[in-house]
Structure 1
Amino acid sequence: MSVFFITGVDSHIGKTYATGYLAKHLLENGVNVITQKLIETGCKGNIAEDIITHRHIMQIPLQYVDHQYVSCPFVFRAAAPPYMAASLENIPLYPARITVATQQLRLQYEMVLLETSGGIMTPLTESLLTIDYIAEQGHPVVLVTSATLESINHTLLALQAIAQRGLTLHAVIYNQYQHSAATVDTDELTPDQVLQNEQLYKESFDTHRVRNTLLKNTRLYLQQYLKQHHPDTFWVELPYISFSSQISHYLKPEVEKKNVISHPAYSIEKYAQEIADNTLYAESLYKKIAKR
């Protein structure tokens, strides 16, 4: 039985989509998997919104453990760091309660994907960072990053923090989707509207060129860094995920093929299959030993 921490280099980096999409493919590969949210902040309802998104992507209904708040024991309304959100609502935040919830899930499922709140250095309490909690638990880490202006800086800082604490870095998931703050208004216009206006056309062309350059160069730089410093870590490409009504759409990533030395890239489907093969083999081996 395995637990993976799914964490990120920042907020709004794609952790929730990566967690749900990975869980979806683990299910399809025969793994009895569940997702968990460390702490949810900025939530309007009683059940964590990220858990609801996980189930949507996994294409399953909310589970019993969701309704019993085992999959996310702490849900706060304030959009703030966990310790601050807990203080605003005058609710004690005990990390041990999260640990017990994870243990409960491990008794029922072969695998738990535990999504953190915010970035890897986000404070859970006034004296405990997310990375400290991860280190205490000792589960392998999956780090989600993306191609933004500060991605390389944030990712290298996260990787160094992980290395300094001696954590197992299982994978880096590269989310090609760039947050809407990084886009321009031309994205909302039709091609005809852009073509009819020379200034808009130039702006759209420049934005597209810069965005693609950022995607390719950030990917290459981080892959080469992993090859040098974390050679056993998986590099995984996350497709762009969008929702239309009750249907999820997935746009496969386009990985440029060049004759350059970089870290081998996995699709998230192939990555899930690798995990599933190892998990199911370990489970069958454990059952054989238990019978003896």
Structure 2
Amino acid sequence: MTRSRAVKVAVLAFAIPLAACGTDGSGGAGAADDVAETTTGTTTGTTAEGDEGGRWLTSDGDVLITCHGGPSFPASVVEGIGPVEVGQEDADDIVRALAAVKEEAGIDAPGPLLDASAEDVRWLVLWQGSDLSGEDGIGLLLAAPETTDFSLDRDEYLELGQHEGHWRVEGWGGGCRARLALDRASSWAQLAWPEGADQQTGSTITVLVSEIECTSARDPEPFLAAEPIIEETAEDVTVYWTSEAVVGGATCPGNPWVERTVQLQSDLGERTLLDGSTWPAKPVSTQEELG
């Protein structure tokens, strides 16, 4: 059987102070005096080959992303550029693994397998190599037979592991939930509009910030980056806010929100404010819309 390759992972370090990460949650927004200055949107980073690179870039100029915080892979893989090649033996074994999970999970099987056979569904390997626990693994997208492309939002993300020399589906559950890859000491924080304040147009913008990963509902104030990275274009403004990753285990009762102010180089005007905690970045929503 073909031996798994080591996954290429770029280690990224922000040039600004980093703060915490946590699960989607709700809570009161406390006032904050911090005003975040606009940065150039660059970080220092080490590419897969060890060269110094730009912000969130692999050695060939492509951003690295993750699904559910797993191993990273180039975003262009989803578009069929530089796909992960698997041998015929591995490919046949993946189909057998999909057939097994379809039979074993029944109505709880991955969505595309509910109405199609393992031989008919379309799949794309996003990464193959060592997972975060050091074990051989594969991450793939599973799509319905009638699709002509792959989508991180639409298609189901699965992870496979090695068991007695064969691939076996170990986890699945919806889309990729793609985010830009960060180093393990850092995690993403999400943004929301304060209640009744989603029509701001000036150069000073007030937002709510909450850690995304589980944090046992800790106070995010000491862990959030003092300043975000901000990218401004003629059409939109993207805000990337991070936090210090939780060390050890944590529960997920819902993370508090805190108020922050960002200073733009020019008025927001009719431009769209985007939250960079997702890939691709999405328009900032209200807490109610985030659920």
TM-score tier (shorter): under 0.3
Q: What is the TM-score of this pair, normalised by structure 2?
A: 0.26
Q: Which has the higher helix share?
A: 1
Indicate the structure whose relative CO is greater, using CA pairs within 8 Å and at least 6 residues apart. 2
